[in-house]
Amino acid sequence: MFKLKTALVSAVTAVVLVTGTSVALAEGMQHAMNAGRAPAAKADIVDTAVGAGQFNTLARALTAAGLVETLKGPGPFTVFAPTDAAFAKIPAAKLDALLADKAALTKVLTYHVVPGRVVAADVKTGQVKTVEGDYLNVSATSAGVKVNDANVIKTDVMATNGVIHVIDTVVLPN
């Protein structure tokens, strides 16, 4: 677990944003959003997700994987967060087995996290490297944004240490 946290911190320290925009630009966009177009974030990613009420399974999974403190850390992180309904698409026995296998669960959860704060306006079609190390396939069309086979159903849920984009399906690494 220490190696995973070290890798996560290293990845975040590198601050590689998906679109190649600078940290200053991303922070400037965040400041502009906080200045009038969106309410200021009041909680970190974990507390924001828990407070939303639709990420109970995700919160349980983060706890089981030992990732809560990491995602409460300074970040910034971009999290593609599956809802409880997304987790419900996984057969119960398979989900229970995943929740019991810390290594596999950590791999799946870190596949949903991208280093840096990437807001919807910055999303472009292409591959995005995750904290897990594999790539998500992002497609942005007039019909909406998809991450692998998951639909992004809500964007730009701001947190003090990043941003959450809500997805309707759990995405799995190769």
143: domain CATH number? Answer: 2.30.180.10
Within-domain flag for 174: no
Query: Residue 100's pLDDT band (boundaries 50, 70, 90)?
Result: very high
Within-domain flag for 81: yes
Within-domain flag for 173: no
134-138 average pLDDT score: 95
Across the chain, mean pLDDT equals: 80
Within-domain flag for 172: no
pTM of the shown model: 0.76
Per the structure, the count of domains in the chain is 1
Q: Are strands 150-159 and 135-141 parallel, antiparallel or unpaired?
A: unpaired
The predicted structure's pLDDT at residue 14: 32
Question: Is a pLDDT exceeding 90 seen at residue 134?
Answer: yes
Structural domain of 147: 2-167
Query: Residue 124's pLDDT band (boundaries 50, 70, 90)?
Result: confident
44-54 average pLDDT score: 91
Within-domain flag for 140: yes
Residue located via tokens 């594999």: 134
The predicted structure's pLDDT at residue 143: 84
Residue bearing the bigger pLDDT, 21 or 124:
124
